[in-house]
Chain A
Amino acid sequence: DAKTTQPNSMESNEEEPVHLPCNHSTISGTDYIHWYRQLPSQGPEYVIHGLTSNVNNRMASLAIAEDRKSSTLILHRATLRDAAVYYCILLNFGNEKLTFGTGTRLTIIP
């Protein structure tokens, strides 16, 4: 499976936008980019996924580089509830195996 690289930790101020980067230089043409997050004492939560085009949903936006070797999860206005570990995961067409990396621990500063 293609691997992803994320910073171990990031901090952001409350009510500011947050940009969480993910590098995936060995991504294949059929790999989807998925983001999950895990809040303290909870199971992981799906955030967003995409293939080539940028994606928006009620939780976040996903910006995918033109060469698909990197992507950025954007939280438009961070709240304290967004403090979590964010995982960027590549999933191939038809593959149901989520392989979590170490993720980015996001701290929100009040």
Chain B
Amino acid sequence: DTEVTQTPKHLVMGMTNKKSLKCEQHMGHRAMYWYKQKAKKPPELMFVYSYEKLSINESVPSRFSPECPNSSLLNLHLHALQPEDSALYLCASSPYTGTEAQPQHFGDGTRLSIL
């Protein structure tokens, strides 16, 4: 069982839809992450939040909009996605210290399909 919970597990949406992915952790971690993973490829970092502030945006298109309402919750708002955005979206968290990089704990992801 993972300590990082992602919902929904699967999502199918049209290119004109607006949807959101949700990620939750209750480990007291202060850094949260979004990754994108295409089939048979390694995960790629999209966004990092440290202490609820966006600290890293890896030049992600604006149709992906992250939000961190509180230290336990991370959302990814989706709008006007393209078929190539179909992928597994992974959330992770870590006890950010600003010094030694701490292990990241991953959820099992949301599998997104764009029609």
Report which A residues bind B (CB closer than 8 A): 32, 34, 36, 38, 41-46, 49, 85, 87, 91-103
Contacts and interface: CB of A to CB of B under 8 A. Distances in A.
B101 A34 contact: yes
Contacts of B98: 94
A69 B31 CA distance: 29
Given A43-B92, A43-B109, A45-B106, A96 B42 contact: no
Contacts of A49: 101, 103
A42 B101 contact: no
Interface of B: 2, 4, 31, 33, 42-45, 48, 50, 55-56, 90, 92, 94, 96, 98-101, 103-109
A46 B105 contact: yes
B31 to A, nearest CB: 6
A103 B42 CA distance: 8
Nearest to B58: A97
Given A96-B31, A96-B56, A96-B96, A46 B42 contact: no
Contacts of B48: 96-97
B54 to A, nearest CB: 13
B42 A101 contact: yes
B108 A43 contact: yes
Contacts of B44: 100
